[in-house]
Amino acid sequence: MEQPTPLTDADRTWAAVVHLAPLVGYFILIGQILLPLAILLWGPKSAFVQAHAKESLNGQISYTLYGLALLLLAMTVVGLVIAVPLAFALVVLVLWNMLQGALAAGRGGTYAYVLILRLVP
C-alpha cells in the first residue's frame, strides 16, 4: 500500500491562501470566484491544495448566488427590510467560513463550508 505524501509547508500555505484570496477578489468583478478558480487550475497539484481550492470555489460561487438573490429581494420595499439583515448575516458567514478554512488548512486539516452548493466536484 502506498503511503500518502506528507504535507509540505507550501501545501498548507497555498491551501490557506485559497481561502483568503477572495478577500482581494471582492474588489474585482467576480474576482472572489476567479482567484480560487485560478489556484485550482494553475496552482499546486497536490490533493490537499486541490481539495481546499474546490471547497473555497464552491463557497464563493454559492455565496455570490445568495448575494444576487438578496439584491433582487432588496428591490422591493418589503424585501429591503428582510434583505438587509440577511445580507449582514451572509457577510458574517462568508468571513467566518473563509477564516475557519484558512486556519484548518494551516493546521493541515480540512474544513467544509456551511450552507453551500457543491457545484464543483
Q: Kindly report the average pLDDT of the chain as a whole number.
A: 90
Give the whole-angstrom CA distance, residue 107 versus residue 110: 9
pLDDT band for position 26 (cuts 50, 70, 90)? confident
Give the whole-angstrom CA distance, residue 26 versus residue 83: 20
What pLDDT, on the 0 to 100 scale, is given for residue 1?
Answer: 52
pLDDT band for position 52 (cuts 50, 70, 90)? very high
- Per-residue pLDDT reduced to its tens digit, 83-120: 899 999 999 999 999 999 999 999 999 999 999 999 88
- Delimit the domains of the chain by residue range: 9-107
The upper half-sphere exposure of residue 69, i.e. CA atoms within 13 Å in the direction of its Cβ, equals 9
Distance of CA 2 to the CA centre of its chain: 31
What mean pLDDT is predicted for residues 55-66?
95
Question: DSSP states of 20-59 as a string?
Answer: HHHHHHTTSTTHHHHHHHHHHHHS---HHHHHHHHHHHHH
What pLDDT, on the 0 to 100 scale, is given for residue 103?
Answer: 96
